[in-house]
A and B are shown apart, each in its own frame.
Chain A
Amino acid sequence: MTATLAARRADSHHTSMFLRMLMRAAILRRERAASALLAMVVAAAATTAMLNLYVDVQAKLRKEFRDYGANVVVVAKDGATLPEDTLSKVNAILAGHGLAVPFAYVVARTSDDQSVVVSGTDFEQVRKLDSWWSVSAWPQGSQDALVGARAAAVVSPLGRPFDLSFQGHAIHLTPAGTLSTGAAEDSRTYLSLTDFEAWTGVQPSTIEIAASGSPEEVDSTILKLAQALPATEVRPVRQIMEGEARVLGKTRATLLASASLIILTAALCVLSTLMGWVLDRRRDFAIMKALGASERLISSFFAAEAGVLGAIGAVVGFVIGIGVAAWIGRANFHAPVVPRFNVLPWVLCGSVVVALISAALPMSLLRRVQPAVILRGE
């Protein structure tokens, strides 16, 4: 028995005593090690999830805020119409980071000589830009009109096809649906831009733009637009931009406060568990000391143990935390939170540091005690 053991030992690789002690400690006290590791994992997971959420929530909420519609408008100076290539220039500058919708306006006459504002626009784009428009049915074919809830009473009270005239030109329109927004749009009739231009010959005078991105990105878009379109007036919709900045700032601040509290609690959880785990091993400590191990060796042993525990816990916790953040994103924003791998070094460092602090505190307590006292069980 002893011979085989000795032979096996002789054969085995010369793993250092230090590593073997680490391994045996983890295997022999797996329950305690597991509970300490669990605390580490939970803390790292909570930290990862909160950091991920904190970084990503801005992008997620910005997307929600874009539902408020245009944050930039381009209007022609002094009531004129925009140069013909304005829309293509705007789209080139936006390069997919936003939506641009042209609007053309005239005041037309109904068959019983009432004035009504008629607007030509791109229905496909408006639908995406102004998601709050409550529309009974969107126009499909040509000569189909979208009639505002209040305009309907004037142009087509019974929902029948109607005629409008502008500067002697008449157009016959079919009301496809009614539009309700609670604002100026309710008093207007909307046509597709092609129908509108064929009828009136008037070009768009306004382009409403929903530029996505951070305030700095929107500002630079506005600057580029103003440079590219000198004949027009480019202005931010302050109502939308300021509201967004305010709400977003407050939400982020609240989330930051919550994240700090959660991370603090998680660190506390690790601290108390790891302290228990080191205190619990005071007999090992005493035996090592009694067998002649130096203070430095013992300290580095416990430090290495805590460090390894912290690192493993951080990696496992990171994976779980990413999962939790993705789930929160899906549950609340219907889009997963993109994993941020640049959070990993922070979580890793934080975990190891907390683990080392947790080990150092009881170590300094134990160092003062004589091994004999501990071994006697006092």
Chain B
Amino acid sequence: MFIRLVYESFRRQKRRKALAGIAITLGVAVATAMIAVATDVGDKISRELRSYGANLLVTPQEDTLDLQIGGVDLKPPSDGAYLNEADLPKIRGTFWHHNIVGFAPMLPVNVDADGKNLTLLGTYFSKKLSFGKDDFATGVRITHPWWKVQGAWPDDNSQDVLVGEGLAARLALQPGDQIQIGGQAHRVSGILSTGGVEDGQIVAPLGLAQQILGRPGAVRRLYVSALTKPEDALARRDPKTMNAELFDRWYCSPYVQSIAYQLQEAIPHSHAEQIRQVAQNEGTVLSRIKGLMLLVTLAALLASALAVSAAMATAIFERRSEVGLMKALGAGNASVAALFFVEAMLLALIGGVIGFAGGALLARQIGRSIFDSRITIDPVLLPVILALAVTVTFAGSALAIRRAVKFDPVYALRGEG
């Protein structure tokens, strides 16, 4: 009998059920999409923050002091120590290699070009490397996304170079022209604009710089761009003072400090340091945006809960005369309430499942249109969302059901009140 009551209620009151169902579906869809976006936004913004460039700098441990003024290196090239280029792919073997977005080695050398003493910077543009079975490409195009080239990027294995825009203007060079570097002609594949000191320099493949310096495999410093977790108290502690358990936790968290530690492990005789300008501010900006999205998500959850509650309350309020009839026929308060709750649960489950699917689609759309990457939704969320939908629907119905049940059937049937 009970099942028949529920069934008939759905069959005969299609409009009302549809209205409540739509409210629940939309509410759940909004909640799902917002939860998905909020949980993923940290990761997405973290990637966007990588457009600020490298946040870690690896230098040789035994290096002498840098003598840099306004980006011009005054140190004699014979001075100081070098990293070994052959060690670089080992970065892909570190614990947090998935978090390492890219790296770019740098080797500045002084050259005589077109009769002037200039700095030539050797680096990777988008060099194809492999570590084990892992093939990947890395270089300044990833770590320094604000570098713009008019013309074409040189191939990493070629002898072509880029010329900074300030220098190109002085030497009247166009992409495709030749430049004399140390008595040899090199093709200028493009004009580089960085807004920094590189605008007055020549940027060349690393191999060419090593060849000019006469030191194969030499790298002066290495910029690493890594996705990190905002710093907290544990991150700032000195790993030497930690016990084994704490050290494991520190080592297995993607703090900028622990990634620096692992880079030092991977590259012999190196010293890795966070670039505080980038690394420190990244944490602040990231936590602000995450906090904002969390609060906004709470607001969205609240708004959808209210919408669902309001729809349910309205739906039940409209059915007072039905309650009156049932009660007049001898139904107890409990059985009337049970009927409403079962109906509410059915609505919540159906609306919840459809809403979850809709919300997942919505989140994906948001991810694609804003971040150009997919926001995936964890299927584990489905039971959580369903439970939430049922709870909210129950909470929204409870007051209305209580009042409907308490109402005197005589008045209800007469249509008063």
Q: Are A50 and B296 in contact (CB under 8 A)?
A: yes
Q: Are B195 and A236 in contact (CB under 8 A)?
A: yes
Q: Are B307 and A269 in contact (CB under 8 A)?
A: yes
Q: Mark A158-194, 1 if CB is under 8 A from B, else 0.
A: 0000000000000000000000111110110000000
**Secondary structure class of chain A's binding surface, majority of residues:** helix
Q: Are A117 and B67 in contact (CB under 8 A)?
A: yes
Q: Are A272 and B274 in contact (CB under 8 A)?
A: no
Q: Are B146 and A239 in contact (CB under 8 A)?
A: yes
Complex contacts, B328 vs chain A, CB 8 Å: none
Complex contacts, A151 vs chain B, CB 8 Å: 65
CA distance A231 to B186 in the complex (A): 33
Q: Are A265 and B195 in contact (CB under 8 A)?
A: no
CA distance A241 to B74 in the complex (A): 28
Number of interface residues of A (CB under 8 A): 79
Q: Are A283 and B70 in contact (CB under 8 A)?
A: no
Within 8 A of B (CB), among A113-147: 114-117, 130, 132-134
Question: Whole-angstrom distance from the CB of A278 to the nearest CB of chain B?
Answer: 10
Question: Whole-angstrom distance from the CB of B282 to the nearest CB of chain A?
Answer: 9
Q: Are A283 and B415 in contact (CB under 8 A)?
A: yes
Number of interface residues of B (CB under 8 A): 77
Minimal Cβ-Cβ distance residue in A for B300: A262
Q: Are A115 and B288 in contact (CB under 8 A)?
A: no
Q: Are A331 and B291 in contact (CB under 8 A)?
A: yes
Complex contacts, A116 vs chain B, CB 8 Å: 65, 67
The segment out of A17-25, A57-65, A84-92 that lies at the interface is A57-65
Known: A261-B300, A377-B414. A68 touches B52 (CB 8 A): yes
Q: Out of A42, A242, A258, which one reaches B296, CB within 8 Å?
A: A258
CA distance A143 to B74 in the complex (A): 26
Question: Whole-angstrom distance from the CB of A277 to the nearest CB of chain B?
Answer: 8
Known: A35-B313, A183-B277, A377-B321. A255 touches B300 (CB 8 A): no
| A340 at interface, CB cutoff 8 A | no
The segment out of A210-218, A246-254, A289-297, A306-314 that lies at the interface is A246-254
CA distance A346 to B247 in the complex (A): 55
Complex contacts, A275 vs chain B, CB 8 Å: 19, 314
Complex contacts, B402 vs chain A, CB 8 Å: none
| A154 at interface, CB cutoff 8 A | yes
Complex contacts, A67 vs chain B, CB 8 Å: 281, 284
CA distance A184 to B70 in the complex (A): 10
CA distance A240 to B144 in the complex (A): 11
CA distance A116 to B193 in the complex (A): 30
Q: Are A64 and B317 in contact (CB under 8 A)?
A: no
Q: Mark B296-307, 1 if CB is under 8 A from A, else 0.
A: 110110111011
Complex contacts, A183 vs chain B, CB 8 Å: 57, 275-277
Minimal Cβ-Cβ distance residue in A for B29: A261
CA distance A116 to B67 in the complex (A): 6
Q: Mark B374-412, 1 if CB is under 8 A from A, else 0.
A: 000000000000000000000000000000000000000
The segment out of B6-14, B42-50, B88-96, B134-142 that lies at the interface is B42-50
Q: Are B48 and A115 in contact (CB under 8 A)?
A: no
Q: Are B68 and A238 in contact (CB under 8 A)?
A: no
**Among B33, B72, B195, residue most surrounded by chain A Cβ atoms (within 10 Å):** B195
Q: Mark A308-342, 1 if CB is under 8 A from B, else 0.
A: 00000000000000001000100111000000000
Minimal Cβ-Cβ distance residue in A for B57: A182
| A280 at interface, CB cutoff 8 A | yes
Within 8 A of A (CB), among B355-370: 362, 366, 369-370
Known: A258-B300, A261-B34, A265-B307. A243 touches B317 (CB 8 A): no
Within 8 A of A (CB), among B17-46: 19, 23, 26-27, 30, 33-34, 37, 41, 44-45
Within 8 A of A (CB), among B318-342: 318, 321
| B69 at interface, CB cutoff 8 A | yes
Q: Are A262 and B289 in contact (CB under 8 A)?
A: no
CA distance A22 to B229 in the complex (A): 58
Q: List 12 A-B contacts (CB under 8 A).
A: A115-B74, A132-B276, A150-B65, A154-B65, A205-B70, A243-B51, A247-B51, A247-B285, A251-B289, A261-B300, A262-B296, A266-B306
Closest 8 CB pairs of A and B: A276-B314, A238-B195, A377-B415, A269-B307, A243-B52, A187-B66, A182-B273, A272-B311
Contacts from A to B (Cβ < 8 Å): 35, 39, 42-43, 46, 49-50, 53, 57, 60-61, 64-65, 67-69, 75, 79, 105, 107, 114-117, 130, 132-134, 150-151, 154, 180-184, 186-187, 205-206, 235-243, 246-247, 250-251, 253-255, 257-259, 261-262, 264-266, 268-269, 272-273, 275-276, 279-280, 283, 324, 328, 331-333, 377
Q: A116-B67, A117-B65, A132-B277 are in contact. List 14 more A-B contacts (CB 8 A).
A: A61-B288, A65-B285, A151-B65, A180-B276, A182-B275, A206-B70, A235-B195, A242-B146, A250-B48, A254-B37, A324-B299, A328-B292, A377-B321, A377-B413
